[in-house]
Chain A
C-alpha cells in the first residue's frame, strides 16, 4: 500500500542534558551531553581523545534489551586568565548615556522590553558563531597518550555513564559511537557531545510464531522541511507508530487501521557555537485500508512492526526526502474458552471466518392475560400455558 508523497515540517526538539534518547523499533540512538565551565577564557580547541568506551547487554525479555556502559573523553584546549584580557573599548560613554533615560523609567510590564513576542527570524549574521567547534568521527578519535603534554595546552577529562533500552528481537549489533563533538559555547564553557547508535540485525517480526496475520506493507515518501536550523549530515530517520485503532466496513469488506506516527530525524547541524547533534520531529495521522479479505468479525489484539527500511536523501540544507517501507502485521490470539448460552464450547482457529454460523436465542414465556385461568373453568376455554420454545436462526 503506497501513500502519496506528503510534506512535513520538522520542529526542533530541545537538546536534553545529560542525555537524549530516540527509540525506534530495532534501533535506538543516544546523545550524551555535558557542559563544563572553566575558570579561564578559552582561546582555541585543539582536539578530543576517546579514552574509553565499554558496554554490556542485559536481556529483559526476548524482544527487549538493556545495554549499559560508559564512555570517557579528554578535551584539549588553550586558555588564558581573564586578567590578561584587554577590554578594547568600543565606546566611551555613549552606551552609558544612551539608555539612561530608558533605565530610570519605570516599566509598566515586562513586555515593554520587547517589541513583538512573535518568533523573530534570524537576521543575517546571527547563524554564524565566533566560537569554535570540532566534529570527529569515532574512527579518527584517538586515545590520549599521557606522555605528550604540550606547553600552554589544558586538558579536561569527562566520564559519562549511560544505559538504553533496545526493542526488537534478533542479534544485537555492536554498539558504536557514530560521532563526537567538542565545542565552545560561551567565553569559558566547553560542550561535550557523543552520538551513539544501538540496533539489531534481523527484520523478522518478533511474534511470527504466535500467528501474525494479515501482513501489509507501509510504504511512502515524505519531504521533510526544517525551519530553525540547517542540516550538515542526516544520521537517521526514525518512525514510531502507536495509538492504533481499527474501523471495519462490513459492506466494503475492508478494515481501516488508524494510527499516529512520529517521524524523527537525527542529524548534524551545520551551525557551530552550540549543540550539533540535533533531533527534529513531526507528527502525522496515518490510515491504511485493507480490502479484499473475507471478514473481520473479531478485532486483532495487536499490531506488530518490522524494522523499517528507510532511504534518505538530502535535497538542500533545510530539506530531505525519505522513502520508507515497513511491514505491519495483525495478531489474533487463540481464545481458550468460549462459552455461549447453550453451554456449547467451540474453539476458534487462526483462520476463523464465521461465515455460516448459526446462533440460537430462546424467547421468554408469554405471560397469561389477567384472570385467564379462571375464565377457562366451564370448559369453554382451556387453560393454556405457552410452553413452546421458538428458535430464531441468524445467518451471516
Chain B
C-alpha cells in the first residue's frame, strides 16, 4: 500500500485500487457513490468506478471515518496551464451535467433557494461598508490602500453583474432547474486518462443550476491563461456541444463571472484576521491584475451572449 496524494494505492494481481477517506457525513458519501455508479452505468471514463467490499458494501466505517475504494487507472497528472487538459475537463463536465439531469438525490438535503440578486446586493453593500471603514483609518495598511484605490472599478463590476441578471430576466426559476453538481475542481481530484478527464472525488457535491459548476471551473483556471478570450470561447463551445445553455444561463454566467467574488472573500478574511496582512496583500494585488484581464475578456464575450459566434474579440 502506498500513499499517493489524497488516496492510498493498493496493487494486487488482478487490479489496482485507490482507497479514499471521507470524514463526517455518511449520507453525503452514499449519495456520491450512488451518483458515481449512475454515471458509470451510462458512460465510462469520466467518474471513478466503485469497487465494493467482499460483502458487497460500497464503503466501510473504521473509527468514525468512512473509506471507499475506486478502480485505479494509469493516468496523467492534470495541469491547469495545459489548454488541452482544460478542454478535456469541460468536456467531461458537460457529459456529467447532461447525464445527471435526471439523477434524483434520494436523501433529504438542505437546499435553501439562493436568491442571487439579493445575495449580490448584500455582498456589494458589505464591500461598500469595508470601503467606508478603510477610508476612516488614519493609518492604512497596504491591503486597505489597494482596496481603496480600485474600489470604483470593483463596484462597477458588481453593478454590471446585477445588470446582467436583470437583463437575463433572472427569476427564481433558475434555481428550480437544480440538479446535482460536482462543486469542486481542486486539481488533486482531477486526472487525465485516455484523453479524457476523470473527476476522482464527487463527495463535495451540491445542488443547483449547472451554471454554478461552470463558473467555479472558469474562475479556478482561466486566470492561469490571463482570461484568454479565445480559450474562453473554446471551452464554452465544447460544453455546449453536449449540454446547451439558454439565454438566461448565459446572462447569469457572464454576470456572476464579473462579480469580484474573491475580493469579497479577501475582505472577509482581512476583517476576521483569517490570514496575515502581507499574505492577503499579495493575493489582492495579483487578483487586481487578474480582474483587469477578466474584465477585458468578458467585454469581448458580449457578442457570444447575443449569438454572434463569428465576431472577433475586441482588442
Residues of A in contact with B (beta carbons under 8 Å apart): 12-15, 37, 41, 82, 85, 87-100, 102-104, 106-107, 110, 113-115, 120, 122-123, 125-126, 128-131, 185-189, 228-229, 269, 271, 273-274
Which of A98, A113, A120 is within 8 Å of B129, CB to CB?
A113
A93 engages B187 (CB within 8 Å): yes
Q: Type the 1/0 row for B74-109, where 1 means its CB is closer than 8 Å to any CB of A.
A: 000000100000000000000000000000000000
Min CB–CB distance B178 → chain A (angstroms): 13
Q: Which residues of A contact B267 (CB under 8 A)?
A: 113
Min CB–CB distance A22 → chain B (angstroms): 16
A95 engages B142 (CB within 8 Å): no
B262 interfacial by beta-carbon distance below 8 Å: yes
A130 engages B265 (CB within 8 Å): no
Q: Interface residue count for B (Cβ, 8 Å)? A: 57
Q: A89-B224, A274-B140 are in contact. Are A37 and B149 (CB under 8 A)?
A: yes
Q: List 20 A-B contacts (CB under 8 A).
A: A37-B149, A90-B286, A91-B283, A92-B187, A92-B220, A92-B221, A93-B184, A93-B186, A95-B283, A96-B219, A99-B261, A99-B262, A100-B216, A103-B123, A103-B265, A110-B125, A113-B129, A115-B272, A273-B140, A274-B139
Which of B130, B139, B186, B277 is within 8 Å of A125, CB to CB?
B277
Q: A87-B226, A90-B286 are in contact. Are A96 and B138 (CB under 8 A)?
A: no
B282 interfacial by beta-carbon distance below 8 Å: yes
Q: Type the 1/0 row for B168-184, where 1 means its CB is closer than 8 Å to any CB of A.
A: 00000000000000011
Min CB–CB distance A204 → chain B (angstroms): 38
CA distance A88 to B130 in the complex (A): 26
A102 engages B265 (CB within 8 Å): yes
B245 interfacial by beta-carbon distance below 8 Å: no
Q: A87-B224, A97-B184, A104-B114 are in contact. Are A12 and B149 (CB under 8 A)?
A: no
CA distance A89 to B138 in the complex (A): 32
Q: Which residues of A contact B185 (CB under 8 A)?
A: 93, 97
A102 engages B122 (CB within 8 Å): no
Q: Which of A85, A93, A125 has the most CB of B within 10 A?
A: A93
CA distance A92 to B226 in the complex (A): 14
Q: A126-B277, A130-B142 are in contact. Are A92 and B265 (CB under 8 A)?
A: no
CA distance A202 to B101 in the complex (A): 89
Q: Which residues of A contact B130 (CB under 8 A)?
A: 113
CA distance A103 to B127 in the complex (A): 12
A99 engages B265 (CB within 8 Å): yes
Q: Which residues of B contact A128 (CB under 8 A)?
A: 278
User: Which one, B18-26, B287-295, B304-312, is touching chain A?
Assistant: B287-295
Min CB–CB distance A88 → chain B (angstroms): 6
Q: A88-B286, A97-B184, A110-B126 are in contact. Are A122 and B265 (CB under 8 A)?
A: no
B126 engages A107 (CB within 8 Å): yes
Q: In the complex, given contacts A97-B186, A126-B278, A131-B145, what are 6 additional A-B residue pairs having Cβ atoms less than 8 angstroms apart? A: A87-B290, A96-B261, A102-B268, A125-B277, A188-B149, A189-B149
Min CB–CB distance A113 → chain B (angstroms): 5
Q: Which residues of B contact A14 (CB under 8 A)?
A: 136, 138
Q: Which residues of A contact B187 (CB under 8 A)?
A: 92-93
Q: Which residues of B contact A189 (CB under 8 A)?
A: 145, 149
A99 engages B268 (CB within 8 Å): yes
B118 interfacial by beta-carbon distance below 8 Å: yes
CA distance A123 to B277 in the complex (A): 8
B271 engages A89 (CB within 8 Å): no
Q: Type the 1/0 row for B262-284, where 1 means its CB is closer than 8 Å to any CB of A.
A: 10110110011100111001110
Q: Which residue of A lies closest to B152 (CB)?
A: A37
Q: Which residues of A contact B140 (CB under 8 A)?
A: 273-274
B138 engages A15 (CB within 8 Å): yes
B115 interfacial by beta-carbon distance below 8 Å: yes
Q: A90-B283, A103-B119, A106-B115 are in contact. Are A115 and B145 (CB under 8 A)?
A: no
Task: State the 8 A-B residue pairs at the shortest beta-carbon distance, nearest first.
Answer: A186-B149, A99-B265, A93-B220, A12-B138, A126-B277, A114-B271, A85-B289, A126-B141
A92 engages B224 (CB within 8 Å): yes
B149 engages A185 (CB within 8 Å): yes
CA distance A90 to B122 in the complex (A): 28
B282 engages A90 (CB within 8 Å): yes
CA distance A126 to B130 in the complex (A): 17
Q: Type the 1/0 row for B132-155, where 1 means its CB is closer than 8 Å to any CB of A.
A: 000010111110011011100000
Q: Which residues of A contact B145 (CB under 8 A)?
A: 131, 185-186, 189, 273-274
Q: Which residues of A contact B290 (CB under 8 A)?
A: 87
Min CB–CB distance A394 → chain B (angstroms): 60
Q: Which residues of B contact A113 (CB under 8 A)?
A: 126, 129-130, 267-268, 271-272
Q: Which residue of A lies closest to B187 (CB)?
A: A92
B220 engages A228 (CB within 8 Å): no
CA distance A90 to B220 in the complex (A): 11
B268 engages A96 (CB within 8 Å): no
B223 interfacial by beta-carbon distance below 8 Å: yes
B241 interfacial by beta-carbon distance below 8 Å: no
